């Protein structure tokens, strides 16, 4: 089975006090049999563009093993934000953009939120939204109106509610078929219910942190899925959603609906 990690980071983070080097991430991928990781900067980094460049170098040095997810605070002049996201996608080959509700202090009424989704719509990439820790901004339910306004944009609810608001994450996913749920930090019972309700093709394995990889893997293995569904959760669903490993430069919005 080929494993794709839909949620990985490199760099430092002053918001959460974290630091993960590219070498450490690649070593962990080898240790745990992860073929491909979708890699983004942490939200609390001083210069996101520098980490984007670092991720691009990882991707160039390790073809097919690393794909970038852009992550920039969407505050300030919209042209500056869009310029960096466009650079990441068109010049560096990134395949998604992160809306980090708590790390970037973005709520659904923020002009920055619209900037993220408009950039994704324009560039044809999925939006990853941090959910769970950081309510009210990280409550999946508050993002439902925006998700419904953009039915052709794929959305990934990272952490699937984070074991705090898993029910809300599932409710959003059941309401909107352009929503996928990512497993890191989600409750194991929540994941069982999500798989039954929306299917394995919309459930993505993710680790978030290097130290969490074996725990997150064990949690998904404990779902005791049939082999076809296990392959979807551990990689095939992410490959389809983000258009990776197929020779495409990036995804087509809504392509896996």
CA dihedral 70, 56, 63, 251 (to 10 degrees): 30
Q: The domain spanning residue 91 has which CATH number?
A: 3.20.20.140
Tell me the pTM: 0.93
Q: Which residues of the chain have pLDDT under 50?
A: 246-257
137 lies in which domain range?
3-242
Q: Is residue 181 part of a domain?
A: yes
Structural domain count of the chain: 1
Whole-angstrom distance, CA of residue 25 vs CA of residue 40: 12
CA dihedral 61, 63, 64, 67 (to 10 degrees): 50
Whole-angstrom distance, CA of residue 97 vs CA of residue 117: 9
pLDDT in tens, 139-153: 999 999 999 999 999
pLDDT in tens, 211-236: 999 999 999 999 999 999 999 999 99
Q: Is residue 256 part of a domain?
A: no
């Amino acid at each position: 089975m080929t494993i794709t990690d839909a949620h990985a980071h490199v760099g430092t983070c002053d918001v959460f006090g974290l630091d993960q080097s590219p070498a450490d991430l690649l070593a962990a991928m080898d240790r745990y049999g992860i073929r491909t990781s979708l890699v983004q900067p942490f939200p609390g980094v001083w210069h996101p563009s520098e980490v984007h460049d670092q991720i691009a170098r990882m991707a160039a040095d390790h073809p097919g093993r690393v794909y970038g997810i852009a992550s920039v605070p969407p505050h300030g002049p919209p042209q500056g934000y869009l310029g960096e996201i466009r650079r990441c996608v068109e010049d560096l080959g990134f395949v998604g953009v992160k809306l980090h509700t708590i790390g970037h202090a973005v709520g659904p009424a923020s002009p920055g939120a619209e900037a993220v989704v408009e950039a994704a719509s324009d560039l044809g990439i999925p939006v990853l939204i941090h959910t769970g820790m950081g309510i009210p901004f990280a409550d999946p339910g508050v993002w439902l109106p925006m998700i419904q306004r953009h039915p052709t944009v794929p959305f990934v609810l990272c952490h699937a509610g984070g074991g705090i608001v898993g029910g809300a994450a599932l409710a959003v996913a059941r309401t909107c078929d352009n929503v996928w749920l990512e497993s890191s930090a989600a409750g194991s019972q929540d994941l069982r219910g999500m798989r039954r309700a929306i299917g394995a093709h919309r459930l993505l394995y993710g680790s978030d942190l290097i130290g969490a990889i074996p725990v997150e893997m064990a949690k998904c293995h404990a779902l005791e899925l049939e082999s076809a569904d296990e392959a979807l959760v551990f990689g095939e669903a992410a490959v389809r959603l983000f258009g990776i490993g197929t020779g495409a430069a990036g995804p087509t919005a809504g392509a896996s609906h």
